[in-house]
Structure 1
Amino acid sequence: MEQREQRHPPTDGVHTLRRRSGLLLTLLCVCCTAGAGVAQVALPVSERVIAERPTIARWTMDQGLPHNLVHALAQDRDGLLWIGTWEGVARFDGRAFTVFDRQNTPGMEMSGVFAIVPEADGGVLIGSADDGVFRYSGGRWQHLGDARAQRLRVTSMLRGRDGALWVGSEDGLFRIEADGRLSAAGAVAGLPKTRIAALLQRPDGSVLVGTAQGLFRLDPATLRARRWGRTPAMRAAAVRRLSHDRDGGLLVAGDAGVFWLHADGALQWLRQGQRVDAALQDRQGQLWTSLSSGQLLRRSSSGVSEEMLSISGVVSAALIEDREGLIWAGSTDGLFRVAAGDAGGLTRHDGLGGDDVRVVQQSADGAVWIGHAAGLDRWQHGRIATLRIAASGRDPSVLALAAANDGGMWVGTYSQGVLLLAPDGAVRQRLGSDAGIPQAMVRALLQDADGGLWIGSNAGLAYRNRGRTRVYTLADGLPALQVQALYRDRAGVLWIGSSGGIAALSAGGALRGWPAGAGFPAHNAFDFLEDADGTLWIGSDRGLLRLRDGRFRVYDHRVGLPRDKLFRVIDDGHGHLWATSNQGVLRIARDSIAQLDAGRRTQLAVDVVDRSDGMPGSQGNGASAPAGWLSRAGTLLVPTSAGLALIDPALPSRHSWRAPAVAIERLQVDGREQPLRGDYRLPGSVGRLSVDYAGLSFRSPDKVRYRYRLHGFDRQWIDAGSGEEAVYTNLPPGDYRLEVQATTSSTDWSRSDLVGRTSLQLDVVPPFWQRGPFVVLAAIAFSGLLLWWYRGRSHRYLRRQRRLNRIIAERTHELRTKNLALKLADREREELVRKLAYLAGHDALTGLPNRRTADPHLTAALEGALAAQTPLCVALLDIDNFKRINDTHGHEIGDEVLRRVGEVLRATLGEHAFAARHGGEEFLLVLPGLDREPARARLDELRRRVAVVVVHDLDGRVVQCTASVGFACLGPSLQSRRELLVLADRHLYQAKHEGRDRVIG
């Protein structure tokens, strides 16, 4: 029976539920009072607290389950989770459900599933409520047994050590033989013909049978059964689940409670008189029980404490521990996963005034101050107090906190400037625009030892001391006006982070900026952290930056950081840097940074803590300070958009993490799905090969990263990120091995203990024409053909050679002729270029240089005169009444006048002077080497010659023309080209005004 899978999208709709109780506040408040005295320091959020506050995730039909009523759970050899529901069975890889039911799998007449048994060879047995037993293996389904077996109403199953399949049903116990025959065992030697709820094989080979009428022990060899148990209640009460504890003892869950028969023979009776649907002991020694009241009970390994976890719906007998130590439970309301994490959360439900937390800081008295979008809270002695800080109306959003020298707290707000609060939360002082604060939105604060207060706002940096305020802006050297981080290093330098770079203000008052794109390798700087050796770490929107010896080093996604935008950088004192981001908190091993710098590794060692680890939300907040705090008790406090996250920096649960199992889920050849197996023989004509895989980490499926490599084809690993498909097209024939690796340790592939892997063999068979015998025959045939071809071609070659010699001679003659023509064309082109260059710099009408040539000539002449200390005069000549000439006699006569004047200029000025048409009827004259009076004489001579120019119009009338000249000479007060031209133009205007036909200068 070939499967057809129905895949559902990833479980984006998973809801994370958290137990809410006073325990959180009681335990975590001790962190806040740790500063009161050394003896009062208590544990931070650690294994104990986290274990008592597990994270519960839920999946329902909305996320892909075929039905919300879950009856059975099991994990197969590959690590995939199988879920039996009232409407068929589903397989889960941590991201998506694959549903198998009568709608998508031909022949799958399966409805309710009450029993699932994984087998050692990777197959899975599925017990149906009406249709017997199905077996899934290698991507195919098989309906087991004969016609009678396929009508069994299965409630439980057991694969015996002898290979026999024991099947518990509503009608008793049955056995399916290897040949498919069904034998009844329930009525043999005292076993009642009733509902069989549980089957378990003991170390001695006997089979315990849990029925509605009590517990029985069956000898498989004799098929004799008898009641079994140490007490009458244990023997007679209805049994619902049987399991072994971690030491080989026995747990019997049923209507009378839980009987725990320890390996040493001791018997415990737990939950006496209360119906228990399932019981198991996890690897930590904790006892989990599903109560008919709809709750899941966890009993500590010591037996001292119990905790009731509320799970919606009525809890069923579906209760297992997976390979990662996670507890899975089923109920009438879906599938649930219980996991201990490394983080907790503080939200509105716990008493916070708002969930959108922006800043957090611990004051000297141990109180934790929490700023959020709805105001400010103070958390101390197990109580969260909401502080009224608004001058009137609603409390403003808090964007900044800084410890005050008197033990209080400075508070920066979104809309009401800066506040000073006493240690008890009372408002002592308000600073706004009346105090010189440039803007009411304040993102960063820092108080110096002398009482001076630094205020970072969206309009610059302010410094207030002794009642005076100074504001630093762009004009003072800030790279941007939005200041969002302030940090004082050991040398007394104030570091300033902004939205457009960073700046440093020395103790002496000198401000140096590193603008974005001009020395600073990022745009936003959100935080600073200094090491003992003076190294400065910077959280930015381009990754983690290091400033050492005046040089920046960038650590970003290219070296393994999952995110580039980092808001807060904190050293936990144990060899790690912590950085908050929009998608979780990153823990970066310092030694991996050193190894990366030394070239001993290519990726950083990074752990990501996010919502899946117990944080109230993964989205951190930035552009406010401080966006994180390490409490005195060692707890990492991180503001998020969903509450305040509390993280144990030791990440204790990570010590038990294992490499994710990697499973091949589907293989398709040219769109056709193939049965799953370890090796494949593929035809050489295959066009597209696709392999779907999954790294099974149910604790953090979103953290799984993949890489794969087709050995024999790929030269290096292909980084697939979170992708779950490898695709190859047109593979050449050959032997290949596809290896897939997965890790939850970011992209640190050096941790082999955290890297899961799987592989499959591929043999691409060449087509017949690429096989040995065919190739030999083809080579012989080809050789004969080649010989025949060679002989014929040699004969043709001789004839062609003679003809080619004739053609070469003819073509050589043609080429010589064409070369001569090309040389002539080159000469003509050069002459044309020369003429065009001349025309570009000269006036076509007068032949004089135009303004384009005149301007640089004047500049050069002026520079030469200044350098040589020689005289220079500049003149502007304008033809008088030129417009009247044009209007009266026509433009052709006007053009003739311009030509004649140009001729006069060339003839009169000589080779040392320069004349150019400056525009219209105006001409520019440059007279080097002439002082004022010689220049005046030369210009006056020019004026007189223009006055005797005679031009006749078309009617024979004489057109008389005169010219006015204004000039200026180089002198102490006239040193620039512009000054000379302005003065010459002014004198020209004066000449026009005084009657024209004159020279003034």
Structure 2
Amino acid sequence: MPRLLFFCCLCLTFGSAAGQELLTPRIRSFSVAEYGGENQNWGITQSPDGILYVANSGGVLRFDGLHWSLHQLPGRPTVRTVQWANDRLYVGGYGEFGYFTDEEGVLGDYTSLSTRLPAAEQTEEVWNIEVLTSGDVALQSFSRLYWLRGDSLAVQLPGNIMFAHATGDSLLVPVTDRGVLVQPSRDTGNYLTESEPGGRIVAIAGTGNRLLFATTEEILTYGKGGYRAWSTEATDLLRDQQINRIVVLRDGSVAVGTIMGGVYLFTADGRIEQHLSYGNGLSNNTVLALFEDRSGNLWVGLDRGLDLIVRSEPLRFYRQGKQPVGAVYAAAEYGGNFYIGTNQGLFVRDDRLRDFKLVPGTAGQVWELRVTPYGLLCGHNDGTFLVKDGAATLISDRSGGWQTIPLPGDSSRLLQANYTGISVLDCGGAGAEHRVEGLLAPIRFIARTERNEILALHGSRGAYRVRLSDDWHTLTGVDTIRSPDLIRPLLTRFGDTLLVQTADSRYRYSAGTFIPVTQVRGVNVHPGEYCLPGRVGTQEWFVVDKDRVTAYRGSRKLADYPVRLRYNFPRIIALPDSTYLFCLEDGYASYRPEETEPADVGLLLRLTRSGNNVWQFTYALPALDRPIRYRYRLLGFSDRWSTWSELGEKEYTNLTEGDYRFQVQGDWFGTEREIAFTVPPPWYRTVWAYLAYITLFAGMIYLLFREHTNRLNRQARKLEAIRLRQLQRQRIEARNQQLEEENHRKSRELANTTLTLAKKNEMLLDLKEELAQSGKKDQARDAQKLLHLIDRNLNHEEDWAIFESHFNEVHEAFLKRLRQAHPQLTSGDLQLAAYLKMDLSSKEIAPLLHISVRGVENKRYRLRKKLGLDGNDNLNAYVRDFQ
């Protein structure tokens, strides 16, 4: 009802019902390139958290207010319908239907229901989904109803059916040649009548006792008397437009989508409220789907694109009709007519006119419109006009009437700023005009500061302090004010405060000085923003930047709107009926502050983590009718808010471990949300890592200790080995010394034995010789015995055995090796060799062999032969060196 009241007020302001069509809601259009699907959009639904889903020929579109995404079904069929219910998104298309699960605001896995059907039935096209209050879901094809209760799927064959509609716990199903079947869930239904209405029913809307049945040519109601026409006016308008969709909106009005003529909006009793088509904002006229979102805005699925009719905001736009008016600079109501001044002239519209018409003689740039007791004053590029009774009279030919202000105590006279300076206009009588002499410069804005003193801003740069005479005819003084770089300044008055603004700065004027200002009425204002006052006597005012207007009442923000005013010359005009007119480049917009109601939307925030230390935040505010700006901060990292931006993502990398809170704000009524998270330490600083470090450190200490112990053991073993080798060497040396001493002893014993043996043999030989020479007969027998005894002692082998034993101990088995080397040697040869080894001379050998020296020489000769020595070889050397 508030929107209906708003339209009625606009009607009173701007004309009759026919004129209401000039003011249309804002339409936000989404192109194929923007949403990333195909051209045709067949169905629309919305989840409880505000996310929009669209059945598109390319798949399911998801829109959270900032991000579009496309989700395709198996086989990539055209998606003809979507419906949110039971925390699921049900979808249907050609040969495929099923549902997506919801996973914290993100589409989850897809479950196909059509695969449960026999293969022959999997070619049906599901093009409508309805949900009953019981939670049962009806999925409709052209000849079948698929009932889904929980996960149980049943099939019903009522016949050829058209667009079904759920009302309460029943489903209304138009059946060809039968009428409308009232189907209570899966139970047996009854028909409203035994016949169809005059035309084929293509859509049903409404609930309870207020049901509307749309045929291709008209809209019907049903009662005790059967079907009857809902509205004659609607029937006349829709007869040739081919109705395709119908929706009863929450405020009671009715939206009708057609194939030929776009969207028609009707009041509850069937009077036309609005007609939106390609000519006044829609992307095209072929409507495939209608859906009212939870904010009260109307989504229109089109044959080529997707549009949003923003009905929830108190803004209505003038769409230029057959007579383009251009960029609007001024507006006023006068004499029951509505005037707008544009860059093309002064235009007027009354109750009888559908469009504006140009006031004759006023073609060209209009700068200002002011209502006076004497007529409508029009500041024009060609001069100043006074408009009365629809005619414009030139009262001043001084070009460029930028601004006028009233003179105190005289309602007929105005002070005007124009291209050549300052003039005084007399609107009464003949409308006289004279120029104030002394200031020849284009003056864009003027304002009274003190008695007879004016602040004047140059049209392009600079400011002047102007003093006038009491009669305002004479310039008594003018000072150029030392001011900041005022390029294309704007002068506005907030109560008693004069505010001078440029695109980058803002100053308060006081007593000839400019004081920088960062706040207006307790609100921070940033570079690039202009502050415009509202209606006098109220706290209403506006902040304008390049692509939006924000409305305030005092320091409280009412709302902001994506409206683009002329940025270098922003104008918002207060009209008498408590509305404001926004001057636009291509028309104007009407705004009523008391109609502002913030949408109940919550900011969506999602955290995803990728990699070891990459944290990505995705956020969006599903205020689907406008672009939203965001700012964020990460507590624990920085307490400062970022600058406002329309981006909906932020990524942090390489955060140190600790607790953080990511906060994000949307600039729509201070919506804010935060998410807390903890960054774990890197793997090398985890508890397990520290345990590993301790274990590794202990292992290293153990290994070092073990290595140190092993090194000490090796060193001890090495020292022990050295000690043992030294001891062994000492033992060997002692042994060698002992052996050497033993050898010396044995050599001495051998020598002594040999000498003793030689002396004994020599003595025996001498004794034998003595006995042989004895001639006594009587002694012969005794001598023979004695000789025999001597011979036996000379040839006693025990002596040789003793000698050989001692000899081998000294010369290490010399005789054995010599026998092995020369097996032909006899025992006598070995004895001779042994004596030669001892380096005995022939003379010393002879007694030992008890032969003569000559006999020894003979033995030596024979030994040489046996040893294979020639005449040049030394026998003694050979024997001595033999090993």
- 8 A Cα contact 1:629 1:637, kept in partner: yes
Q: 1:290 to 1:211 in 2, by over 3 A?
A: farther
Q: In the alignment, what sits opposite 1:114?
A: 80
After superposing the two structures, state which structure 1 stretch, 278-287 or 458-467, moved more.
Answer: 458-467
**Pairwise CA distance, 1:75:** 1.0
Q: 1:716 and 1:464 mapped to 2: Cα distance?
A: 54
**Partners in 2 of 1:53 and 1:568 — Cα distance?**
24
SS in 2 for 1:232: coil
Partner of 1:483: 443
Deviation at 1:144, TM superposition (A): 1.4
1:443 is matched with 402
Report the CA distance between 1:93 and its aligned residue. 3.6
Alignment counterpart, residue 112 of structure 2, candidates 134, 137, 144: 144
The corresponding residue for 1:125 is: 90
Instruction: Name the SS of the counterpart of 2:621 in structure 1.
Output: strand
Equivalent position of 1:731 in the other structure: 655
Q: Distance in 2 between matches of 1:239 and 1:620?
A: 51
| TM-score normalised by the chain length of structure 2 | 0.63
Shift of 1:124: 1.7
The answer for the alignment partner of 1:200 in structure 2 is 166
Distance 2:590 2:657 in 1: 53
Contact kept? 2:505, 2:527, Cα under 8 Å: yes
CA distance in 2, matches of 1:424, 1:164: 64
The alpha-carbon distance between structure 1 residues 120 and 366, as it changes in their structure 2 partners (threshold 3 A), is same
C-alpha distance in structure 1 between counterparts of 2:114 and 2:68, whole Å: 31
- Cα distance in 2, alignment partners of residues 217 and 167 from structure 1: 16
Residue 173 (1) aligns with residue 145 (2):
yes
How does the TM-score come out when normalised to structure 1? 0.56
Q: Shift in Å at residue 83 of structure 1? A: 1.5
Q: Match of 1:496? A: 456
Q: Does the Cα contact within 8 Å between 1:111 and 1:128 map onto a contact in 2? A: yes
**In the alignment, which of 686, 693, 700 is matched to residue 619 of structure 2?**
693
Over 3 Å counting, the alpha-carbon distance change for 1:563 and 1:375 in structure 2 is farther
TM-superposition CA deviations, 1:428-469 (whole Å, max 9, x none): 44435xxxxxxx555344564397764534565466898864
Q: Percent identity?
A: 17
Contact 1:527 1:568 (8 Å CA) reproduced: no
Query: Which residue pairs with 1:232 in the alignment?
Result: 194
Question: What residue number does 1:91 align with?
Answer: 62
Q: Residue 251 and residue 426 in structure 1: after superposition, are their counterparts in 2 closer, same or farther (change >3 A)?
A: closer
The structure-2 alpha-carbon separation of the partners of 1:29 and 1:733, relative to structure 1 and needing over 3 Å to count, comes to closer
Q: Is the 8 A contact 1:486 1:497 kept in 2?
A: yes
Q: C-alpha displacement at 1:722, in angstroms? A: 1.9
Contact residue 668 and residue 689 of structure 1 kept, 8 A: yes
Aligned pair 1:301/2:299, yes or no? no
Separation of aligned partners in 1, 2:199 and 2:509 = 72
Q: Give the aligned partner of residue 800 of structure 2.
A: none
Q: Which of 653, 669, 687 matches 1:772?
A: 687
Mapped partners of 2:179, 2:124: distance in 1: 22
Query: Which residue pairs with 1:872 in the alignment?
Result: none
SS in 2 for 1:573: coil
Would the aligned equivalents of 2:539 and 2:553 in 1 still touch at CA under 8 Å? yes
Equivalent residue of 1:775, what SS? helix
Asked if 1:587 is matched to 2:551, the reply is yes
Which residue identity does 2:248 align to in structure 1? Q
Q: C-alpha separation between the residues in 1 aligned to 2:687 and 2:10?
A: 78
Q: 1:572 to 1:722 in 2, by over 3 A?
A: farther
Is 1:569 aligned with 2:484? no
1:202-221 → structure 2 map (5 Å cutoff): 202-203=168-169, 207-212=171-176, 214-218=179-183
- CA–CA distance in structure 2, aligned partners of residues 609 and 629 of structure 1: 16
**Matching of residues 376-455 of structure 1 within 5 Å:** 376-378=346-348, 384=356, 386-389=358-361, 395-400=363-368, 406-407=374-375, 409=377, 411-413=379-381, 416=382, 425-432=391-398, 440-441=399-400, 443-446=402-405, 448=407, 449=410, 454-455=415-416
Q: Secondary structure of 1:721's partner?
A: coil
* Aligned with residue 722 of structure 1, among 633, 639, 646: 646
Q: Which residue of 2 aligns with 1:525?
A: 489
**Equivalences for residues 314-393 of structure 1 within 5 A:** 318-340=289-311, 341-346=313-318, 349=321, 351=323, 354-361=325-332, 370-378=340-348, 384=356, 386-389=358-361
Cα 1:713–1:666 shift into 2, 3 Å: closer
Q: How far 1:327 sits from its partner (Å)? A: 1.3
Count of aligned positions: 660
1:661 is displaced (CA, Å) by 3.5
Write the distance in 1 (CA, Å) between the matches of 2:368 and 2:303. 47
Mark the CA change 1:373 to 1:467 in structure 2 (over 3 Å): closer, same or farther.
closer
TM-aligned CA deviation for residue 116 of structure 1: 0.7
What is the CA–CA distance in structure 1 between the aligned matches of 2:673 and 2:227, rounded to whole Å?
44
Q: Which residue of 2 aligns with 1:801?
A: none
Contact 1:401 1:412 in 2 (8 A): no
Match status 1:663 vs 2:604: yes
Q: Distance in 2 between matches of 1:529 and 1:276?
A: 53
Aligned residue for 1:132, secondary structure, equals strand
Q: Per-residue deviation at 1:724? A: 1.0
Contact 1:568 1:622 (8 Å CA) reproduced: no
Q: 1:770 to 1:152 in 2, by over 3 A?
A: farther
| Structure 2: runs of 5 or more not aligned | 1-6, 427-431, 470-475, 705-883
Counterpart residue number, 1:752: none
Give runs of aligned pairs for residues 426-825 of structure 1, distance below 5 A.
426-432=392-398, 440-441=399-400, 443-446=402-405, 448=407, 449=410, 454-458=415-419, 460-461=421-422, 469-473=435-439, 481-488=441-448, 491-498=451-458, 499-506=460-467, 509-517=476-484, 522-529=486-493, 531=495, 534-542=496-504, 545-547=507-509, 552=515, 554-555=517-518, 559-561=523-525, 564-566=528-530, 569-578=533-542, 582-590=546-554, 592=555, 605=557, 607-611=559-563, 618-619=565-566, 622=569, 627-643=571-587, 645-652=588-595, 654-655=596-597, 657-664=598-605, 667=608, 669-670=610-611, 685-686=612-613, 688-699=614-625, 701-702=626-627, 704-710=628-634, 713-715=637-639, 717-734=641-658, 736=660, 738-745=662-669, 749=670, 755=671, 757=672, 762=677, 764-776=679-691, 778=693
* Secondary structure of the structure 1 residue equivalent to 2:321: helix
Amino acid at match of 1:377: F
- CA distance in 2 between counterparts of 1:782 and 1:51 reads 83
For residues 266-287 of structure 1, give each alpha carbon's deviation from its aligned partner in whole angstroms, at most 9, with x where no partner exists.
9976369988544332221222
Q: Report matched runs for 1:825-836 at 5 Å.
A: none
Amino acid at match of 1:373: N
In structure 1, the partner of 2:13 is 28
Q: Which runs of 5+ in 1 are unaligned?
A: 1-21, 31-41, 102-106, 433-439, 475-480, 593-603, 612-616, 671-684, 750-754, 790-1001
Distance 2:557 2:645 in 1: 16
Contact in 2 for aligned 1:253/1:259 (Cα 8 Å): yes
CA distance in 2, matches of 1:160, 1:376: 57
Conservation of the 8 A alpha-carbon contact between 2:23 and 2:318: no
C-alpha deviation, 1:176, in angstroms: 5.8
Q: Alignment partner for residue 37 of structure 2, among 43, 59, 66?
A: 66
Give the partner amino acid of 1:216.
Answer: L
Counterpart Cα distance in 1 of 2:132 and 2:425: 82
Distance 1:26-1:250 versus aligned 2 partners, 3 A rule: closer
Distance 1:666-1:208 versus aligned 2 partners, 3 A rule: farther
Cα deviation, residue 484, structure 1: 0.7
Structure 1 distance, partners of 2:126, 2:630, is: 39
Q: Could you report, residue by residue, the CA deviation over 1:495-515 in whole angstroms, capped at 9, with x for unpaired residues?
A: 312333433334554445433
Distance 1:58 1:709 in 2: 32
Q: Which amino acid aligns with 2:576?
A: R
In the superposition, relative to structure 1, how do residues 588 and 382 fare at CA in structure 2: closer, same or farther (>3 Å)? farther
Q: Contact 1:56/1:336 (CA < 8 Å) preserved in 2?
A: yes
2:842 maps to none
Match of 2:251 in 1: 284
